[in-house]
Amino acid sequence: MIGYACPACARRFPVELDRWRCDCGAPLDLAFEPKGVSPAELARRPRSLARYREVLPLPEGVEPVDLGAGLVPVVEEAIGDIPVRLVLEYVSPTGSFKDRGAALVAALAAFLGAGEIVEDSSGNAGIALAAHSARAGLRARIYAPEDAAPAKLRLASEFGAEIVLVKGGREAAARAAASHATTRRAFYASHAWSPFFLHGTKSFAYGLAETVGWSLPGAVILPAGYGTLALGAHLGFAELVRLGLARRHPALVLVQPLRCAPLWRAFERGEAIAAPVPEAPTAADGARVPRPIRSAQLLSAVRETGGLVAAIEEEEIASALRALWRKGYAVEPTAALGAALVRREGASLRARYGSLAVVLTGSGLKG
Ligand SMILES: [Zn+2]
């Protein structure tokens, strides 16, 4: 039976509509042990997320909501003279890896009998959840900071979501969403809080392993705001090793915009938890998260895997984005963070880790 488990105080809870964090305030994990799955069997399956059904923590008989999330292309590229594999997560049904998590939480919300799904987002998570809610026949309500990108909110609204603009930035939007969900018995499907979301994004690790022939790169370089892709990747890579499907867990290299880099600051200082930073505007709006609530898990995942956290200046984001566009990659600024790091430190990353995979997280076709 799948249940919630608190990593901070070890309490356990059943999976219920109005439970989204522990009574002690910590974000919850899942008590869930995946069944094994074989590469030969996977190769015969359809490309959707349901191909990983044995390792997805959904109740018996419940399938992920299917808009086509699952496998994405991986292409060989060079950044400067550094060979990399680019993982094109932006080639997802709604243009970001958030589809992986949304497919799971929307399925769970429908199973739990929610009439409405609530989320706070400045963009991609809201779009992914709005689309998957529409597909599942659920109402969606997205709380967004009032300076969120209008084109992204418009798209979420075209999927039928109700958009609520909140003064006071990203944090205020999160508080408003949580308080609405608590009082209305809606399902708070927060990509930051829900461990189901992370078990959806973990399919990134399975997809990458399958696509590159089960021989994983030395490091995976990816943007981090709340770190939902990084934590999902960590869950997935650890499972792959445990299930005997991969030999090594790649080092996790997280990249943040210098203007909002709480994880980088804590990593540099050797701290176990990231203290909040002031909320400053950055072109990498998808990574503008001043208080990543799972920072302890993120920092320990980085350290356990021999990875690192880096911070990137606005000018470096802009020039890395331009360089990606000039090669035909239709990404948004947040997705250029990893490429910007390779442009700056590619030689030392390659010397330290060997092969590098750089994740292009979000599409630039939404603005
Ligand atoms: Zn607790």
CA proximity to 360, closest of 97, 125, 151, 124: 97
Ligand 1 centroid from CA 283, angstroms: 35
Q: What is the pLDDT of residues 107-164, one digit of tens each?
A: 999 999 998 999 998 789 999 999 999 999 999 999 999 988 888 899 999 999 999 9
Ligand 1 centroid from CA 115, angstroms: 27
Return the DSSP state at 56: S
Ligand 1 centroid from CA 8, angstroms: 5
Q: What is the pLDDT of residues 35-91, one digit of tens each?
A: 989 999 999 999 999 999 999 999 999 999 999 999 999 999 999 999 999 999 999
Ligand 1 centroid from CA 193, angstroms: 13
Statement: residue 105 has pLDDT above 90: yes
User: What is the reported pLDDT for 367?
Assistant: 67
151, 123 contact by CB (below 8 A): no
Ligand 1 centroid from CA 3, angstroms: 14
User: What is the reported pLDDT for 169?
Assistant: 83
User: What is the reported pLDDT for 181?
Assistant: 81
* Residue 213 vs residue 184, higher pLDDT: 213
Ligand 1 centroid from CA 23, angstroms: 6
Report the chain's terminal Cα–Cα distance, integer Å: 42
Ligand 1 centroid from CA 24, angstroms: 4
* Residue 201 vs residue 281, higher pLDDT: 201
**Cα(238)–Cα(240) distance, integer angstroms:** 5
Rounded to 10°, the helix 98-111/124-136 angle is 40
Q: What is the pLDDT of residues 228-255, one digit of tens each?
A: 999 999 999 999 999 999 999 999 999 9
Ligand 1 centroid from CA 95, angstroms: 34
Query: At residue 84, what is the residue type?
Result: V
Which residues contact residue 67 at a Cβ distance below 8 angstroms, ignoring those fewer than 6 apart?
A: 93, 94, 99, 103, 131, 132, 135
Q: What is the pLDDT of residues 320-351, one digit of tens each?
A: 999 999 999 999 999 999 999 999 999 999 99
**Cα(285)–Cα(94) distance, integer angstroms:** 17
What is the pLDDT of the chain when averaged over all its residues?
95
321, 305 contact by CB (below 8 A): no
User: What is the reported pLDDT for 77?
Assistant: 98
Statement: residue 305 has pLDDT above 90: yes
Any idea which residue has 């995979």 for tokens?
A: 357
The number of angstroms, rounded, from the C-alpha of 359 to the middle of its chain's C-alpha atoms is 11
User: What is the reported pLDDT for 36?
Assistant: 87
Burial of 78 (0-12, 13-18, 19+ CB in 10 A): exposed
With the CA atoms of 45, 233, 227 and 102 taken in that order, what torsion angle do they form, in degrees rounded to the nearest 10?
10
Helical spans, DSSP H, in 243-336: 262-269, 295-304, 314-326
User: What is the reported pLDDT for 184?
Assistant: 73
Ligand 1 centroid from CA 21, angstroms: 8
Q: What is the pLDDT of residues 207-216, one digit of tens each?
A: 999 999 999 9
Mean pLDDT confidence for 180-202: 90
DSSP 78-127: EETTEEEEEE-TTSSTTSBTHHHHHHHHHHHHHHTT-SEEEEE-SSHHHH
Q: Residue count of the chain, please give it.
A: 367
User: What is the reported pLDDT for 241?
Assistant: 96
**Cα(214)–Cα(230) distance, integer angstroms:** 19
